[in-house]
Amino acid sequence: MFVGALILFGSALLAATILPFSSEVVLFALLRDGGDPALLVGVATLGNSLGAVVNWGLGRYLLRFRTRRWFYFSDKQIESAQGWFQRYGYWTLLLAWMPVIGDPLTLIAGILRVRLSLFVVLVTIGKSLRYLSIVYLSSVF
């Protein structure tokens, strides 16, 4: 079970970064093998939340290069994202678990210098709810 938990942690961490990866399948398989749901949700949430913090850190670091020609985001895009964040609020970080938009959302949160403590709380809540829903679905099927 320890090895399975390590694999789950690693897959959850990678899944939350900008790398294409999935941790739900690993969690589902470990649950089917009789793994402790509470432990597995905790491990997956921790790994996935740490991966989101990596994205947040990348966002903070990359902003130092905003004056370089190769920098991906323009000042206008950053201002627009900041306006979007101000309009819809930090609560959007609860959606960091979603495919496609979740990873860029955590990266933008770093660029916009969202306070790390607030970031961690909101992202962890959203990600834990996703993993809890997988536990529920695995018990139904």
What does the domain layout of the chain look like in residue ranges? 2-140
> Taking the alpha carbons of 3, 7, 10, 13 in that order, is the dihedral positive or negative?
negative
Query: Which of 11, 48, 7 lies closest to 131 in space, CA to CA?
Result: 48
Query: pLDDT tens for residues 1-45?
Result: 799 999 999 999 999 886 778 899 999 999 999 999 999 999 999
Residue 2 half-sphere exposure toward CB, CA atoms < 13 A: 0
Within a 13 Å sphere around the CA of 91, how many CA atoms are in the beta-carbon half? 3
pLDDT at residue 72 in the model: 66
Cα–Cα–Cα angle for 28, 130, 106, rounded to 5 degrees: 120
Asked if 56 and 106 count as a contact pair (C-beta separation under 8 A), the reply is yes
User: How far is 96 from 92, CA to CA, in rounded Å?
Assistant: 8
pLDDT digits (tens, 9 = 90+) for 68-89: 887 766 778 777 777 777 788 8
For residue 36, what pLDDT is reported?
A: 96
And the tokens for 78? 């950053």
Strand, coil or helix: what is 109? helix
Using a pLDDT cut of 70, give the percent of the chain over it. Answer: 98
Q: Mean per-residue pLDDT for 102-126?
A: 92
